[in-house]
Structure 1
Amino acid sequence: MTEREKVHQETEDAIHRADEFVQTIERDMLCIDDRINAFRLKQQGYEHLLIHINSIQSADKETLVNIGEGIHVKAEFNKKNMMLVGIGLGFYLEVSINEAKEIAQKQIERLEMEIQHDLLELAKRKATLTLTNQGKQLLEKGF
């Protein structure tokens, strides 16, 4: 194999590796996008929770409670100022309405931090993708 053929083969191998790397980055970016969307959905859920807590706080002793899929039940409050918050493994903690709002707000803030972190990671991947594609184009042109 001549030196020219060897250089050509090495260039082709480098282009192939760049293509594989681009595919890996694109898959990573899709995963990050999915994670961001999931965080945003959770965040919206907590925002709706805050709205519901506020409506409960201003409701009379009896209100309608959404149990899902557009189905509501009438409910009476014995302790209007207290709520149960799931803490995992089937355990609940009784907290005041203000504490429940604070918990929901902290979750919204935590999710926003996760979203911002993932947006930064996404930007890094996009920059890497751009640089890799530029390098690949140079290889394809033969410098």
Structure 2
Amino acid sequence: MKQGEGRGGWRARLREDRGSEAIVAAIVTPLMLMLLCMAIAGGRIVTSGAKIDAAAEDAARAASISRTATGAEAEASKAAARSLNDQGIRCASTSVTADTAGLTVPLGQVGTVTVTISCTVPLSDLLLPGVPGSRTMTSQFTSVVDAFRSREG
């Protein structure tokens, strides 16, 4: 008798394992697809957060160079919308609030303007089970008002 042809030889084991590759593929493939989809969703959340941070910076800077509180709020909203649009972020809903108390300090004193942006980023187009339809992300940035720039309290 040749080696490997006995009762416990490798040919007998090969016959017993037939079809196991298909079972492994049926189990592993959906898991790998879910992992890939979760990585894509995580990437969208991380990149959206960074872009919303950048929009908050732009909005705070635009508000800090305004001369009035109402002008600062309008400029912050316009700058945030422009920045989000330029970066390709599509928010289901957006909220921009500006704390413009720094524009009322007397000349020669340093004031700050703080802008907070909330953006609801849709995730439903990823078609992942268990992933919420959207995620609300909030970013805040503070910009210094020039101490010697004239302003209307």
- What TM-score comes out, normalization by structure 1 length? 0.41
- What TM-score comes out, normalization by structure 2 length? 0.39
Structure with more contact order per residue of length (Cα contacts < 8 Å, sep ≥ 6): 1
The structure whose Rg is larger is 2
